Structure 1
Amino acid sequence: MSRFLFVVPPLAGHVNPAAAVAAELAARGHRVAWAAAPEAVRDAVGADAEVYPCAAPAHVPRPPGLRGAKALRFLWEDYLVPLAEAMTPGTREAVAAFRPDVLVADQQALAGALAAERSGVRWATSATTPAEVGGAVTLPGVESWVRSRLAGLRERFGDPGATHDPRFSPDLVLAYTVAELAEATVPGVRFVGSALHTRRMVPDFPWEWLDRDRVTVLVSLGTVNTDNGGRFLAECAAAVRDRAHRLQAVINDPGGVLDGAADDSVLTLPGVPQLDLLPRVSAVVCHAGHNTVVESLWQGVPLVVAPIRDDQPFVADRVAAAGAAVRVRFGRADRAGLGAALDTVLDGPDHRAAARRLRDRLRAAGGAGAAAGHLEALAARA
């Protein structure tokens, strides 16, 4: 039996794949613990999980409309660096108390990588988006600026003599995707496909609302925290209503921007059981968040993608280049354009065939089982 410590940020899209891998390791007889904000992981890992509490930084509202270099600066200065500062004490305590054979650090939980290198523990990177491992083009000077932020964190919390990039473990980088969606430029990446994790069921989903005689579309922007999110969802609803004779849509609206609007062709809810719903839908409209994209492709479902910021343009470009999605502009998409994009992915065979090819590749990659195997091999070396 080996000991694995998972260090994750308080973000569901980063917790869920790690939880799937941790569950697989536990099923194989290993001991698993977490360094995280307890309230961020309990739903995914269960009340009985061994969790060493870490603090989270004070919430800083993201200014609307941030894009490009300004968005990246906000991500690092107002979130990633403060997150590393807040999580470091709890992560160090977890390492000292749990004594892991391998530490698994989410790529955005830099406290994990830095604590591992300072304590001499072998560690692996958990990369939940292909953008960082897939050669996403950065603006001139941006990468050197990011490296200066990393150097400052290492000087304070890591091993000042280390030379590797703490975003990428020199021993193992787990990427929850396939090469077709990443074009990896980082050596040693192991593509393990989707690591799907059973989530807490959304209560009282009205399954009887689904009309078997019409095609169902799922619309989701994740947690709507952007300007124009309500406008975009409203345009999606209008596009579906224009095709109500053959389409119906379930809209995930956690922010309540559509005020729960519903009729016989559009159902708006604050939460949906996405993994349970995806086998029943024929297309997905989303912001190109990586988890939603690969969960859709896992079912062979084509997409309409409207990236907003961060890694989403990269993910959107890759899935569109693979032939499984139509990309639209988030800020300009209207009912006509969204309707045309839906017609394209629903009526033609090409996008569905591409989605099914990627489904086969994702499933063949091995998922949580493959990731657990790589971590076991790393523990054996440790």
Structure 2
Amino acid sequence: MRVLFASTRGAGHFYPLVPLIDACAARGDDVLVVAPSALEPVLAARKQPYRIGGEPPQEAMAQIRARAMTLSPDDGVSLMVSEGFGRLCTAAMLPAMEQACRDWRPDLVLHETFEFSSVVAAGRHGVPHARVAVSAGLFTAATDPLVGPVLDAYGPGIARGLLASPYLTRLPATLDPSPYDVTHRYHDASRPGALPDWWGGADEPLVHLTLGSEAGALPTAAGLYRGLLDAVGALPVRVLLTTGHHLDPADLGPQPPHVHVESWVPQEDVLRHASLVVCHGGSGTVYGALAAGVPLVCVPLFADQPENARLVAGSGAGKAVTPAGARGDESAVLSPDDVRSVGAAIEQILAEPSFRDRAGALAAEMGAAPSAAELLAVLGG
């Protein structure tokens, strides 16, 4: 089988495709990945062939982001999905996607939720396609009407084809009921490695602080990380903070012995040992933590993070602390009250076994879903 994978530029949008890419490779399928140039370093480090598609004009995207920052969180998301992912990214990526469908002739197209040029190209060339979730189902469904007019401008029935296509998600039904008629759930079988002992043999609970792979580029990133560190500064825990590659750990200054800071550590290695994850509620971190049975404190900032935080808190597998300065844009800060609330949430979760029990129950549900390889057998034989 020949499977074309399509992604937009964000690492958080590409990584949900990886278990399926790896499963295809293990089966001996032919794989081609099409993505913007921003993902080329990631793609070049992998073994699968790839092609680079176009990027929207930087000035146009900057204008959309600037407008989004003046709007409410919901309206800002609507603008980014309809104008950013829908109009600009689709137009930029479509020539490469059309060529790939025309000359490579895939049997199946798998695209992350917000990559739409592949839907247009697959529809025009009669190729079956399925959508791979990068967010919770209800969040995605709320954005679907925004892209209908954009897609149908490329041909009648394109938007209808998107909504009728299979929806593939790693989140469990108990946490994230799907609004889509054809939904397939799958799990990612991670292979965690050892975690270095950065704490000199200490055995207090390990708290992992992370804002994902991209938040380090925010103008307020250093302040956000310092706020999280303040929240755990006096607690009897070991702390591992990962900043991502956009922020130098040295920029956070010296830390006490129970705190260790790295740019990046494989998430599965950390989660194997963690007692708690404190994060911004990004879908990749939420999925990874729950799949490992680790409860969370979510401090949502923008995009799908508030919805993910709500789902985690509602499930009993963690708590949500929404910063007073989170306006749904890239200027979020943590106030002293926010820092105290995060610290209190950490203490509560570590003290009450029910949070870890609930996270463990979700992990068991997720592990019982079909593997990526089993899902591929359903989709393409």
- Return the alpha-carbon distance in structure 2 between the equivalents of residues 94 and 249 of structure 1: 46
Indicate the residue corresponding to 1:119 in structure 2: 125
Indicate the residue corresponding to 1:368 in structure 2: 372
Give the CA deviation at 1:375: 2.4
SS at 1:326's partner residue? strand
- Return the alpha-carbon distance in structure 2 between the equivalents of residues 327 and 247 of structure 1: 20
Q: Does 1:252 align with 2:242?
A: yes
Q: Does 1:153 align with 2:147?
A: no
Q: Does 1:36 align with 2:25?
A: no
SS at 2:229's partner residue? helix
- Summarize the alignment of residues 327-366 of structure 1 with structure 2, pairs less than 5 Å apart: 327-330=320-323, 331=325, 332=335, 334-366=338-370
Indicate the residue corresponding to 1:69 in structure 2: 75
- Return the alpha-carbon distance in structure 1 between the equivalents of residues 138 and 44 of structure 2: 29
Indicate the residue corresponding to 1:218 in structure 2: 208
- Return the alpha-carbon distance in structure 1 between the equivalents of residues 338 and 27 of structure 2: 50
- Return the alpha-carbon distance in structure 1 between the equivalents of residues 310 and 365 of structure 2: 18
Moved more, 101-110 or 33-42: 33-42
Distance 1:162 1:338, change over 3 A: closer
- Return the alpha-carbon distance in structure 2 between the equivalents of residues 137 and 9 of structure 1: 18
SS at 2:130's partner residue? strand
Moved more, 170-179 or 109-118: 170-179
TM-score, normalised on structure 1? 0.85
- Return the alpha-carbon distance in structure 1 between the equivalents of residues 161 and 241 of structure 2: 40
2:172 maps to a residue whose letter is V
8 Å CA contact retained: 2:40, 2:52: no
- Return the alpha-carbon distance in structure 2 between the equivalents of residues 143 and 49 of structure 1: 30
Indicate the residue corresponding to 2:185 in structure 1: 191
SS at 2:241's partner residue? strand
Q: Among 257, 263, 280, which residue is 1:287 paired with?
A: 280
Q: Among 291, 299, 308, which residue is 1:298 paired with?
A: 291
- Return the alpha-carbon distance in structure 2 between the equivalents of residues 210 and 364 of structure 1: 37
8 Å CA contact retained: 1:91, 1:115: yes
Q: Kindly, what percent of the aligned residue pairs are identical?
A: 25
**Number of residues of Structure 1 aligned to a counterpart in Structure 2:** 358
Moved more, 353-362 or 274-283: 274-283
Give the CA deviation at 1:226: 4.1
- Return the alpha-carbon distance in structure 2 between the equivalents of residues 228 and 273 of structure 1: 24
Give the CA deviation at 1:185: 1.3
Q: Does 1:18 align with 2:25?
A: no
Give the CA deviation at 1:91: 0.4
List gaps (5 residues or longer) in structure 1: 378-382
8 Å CA contact retained: 1:235, 1:338: no
- Return the alpha-carbon distance in structure 1 between the equivalents of residues 317 and 17 of structure 2: 26
Following TM superposition, where does structure 1 have runs of at least 4 consecutive aligned residues deviating by more than 6 angstroms? none
Give the CA deviation at 1:211: 4.3
1:95 maps to a residue whose letter is C
- Return the alpha-carbon distance in structure 1 between the equivalents of residues 54 and 133 of structure 2: 22
Q: Does 1:95 align with 2:85?
A: no
Summarize deviations over 1:12-36 as a string: whole Å, max 9, x none: 1121221221111221121111112
Summarize deviations over 1:310-358 as a string: whole Å, max 9, x none: 2111111111111101110123553321111001111111100000001
Distance 1:307 1:24, change over 3 A: same
- Return the alpha-carbon distance in structure 1 between the equivalents of residues 375 and 40 of structure 2: 20
Question: How large is the RMSD of aligned CA atoms in angstroms?
Answer: 2.7
8 Å CA contact retained: 2:316, 2:358: yes
- Return the alpha-carbon distance in structure 1 between the equivalents of residues 201 and 304 of structure 2: 35
Moved more, 38-47 or 221-230: 38-47
8 Å CA contact retained: 1:298, 1:358: yes
Distance 1:135 1:34, change over 3 A: closer
- Return the alpha-carbon distance in structure 1 between the equivalents of residues 270 and 240 of structure 2: 9
- Return the alpha-carbon distance in structure 2 between the equivalents of residues 318 and 272 of structure 1: 26
- Return the alpha-carbon distance in structure 2 between the equivalents of residues 310 and 75 of structure 1: 10
Give the CA deviation at 1:134: 2.7
List gaps (5 residues or longer) in structure 2: 326-334
2:178 maps to a residue whose letter is A
Moved more, 255-264 or 212-221: 255-264
Give the CA deviation at 1:289: 0.6
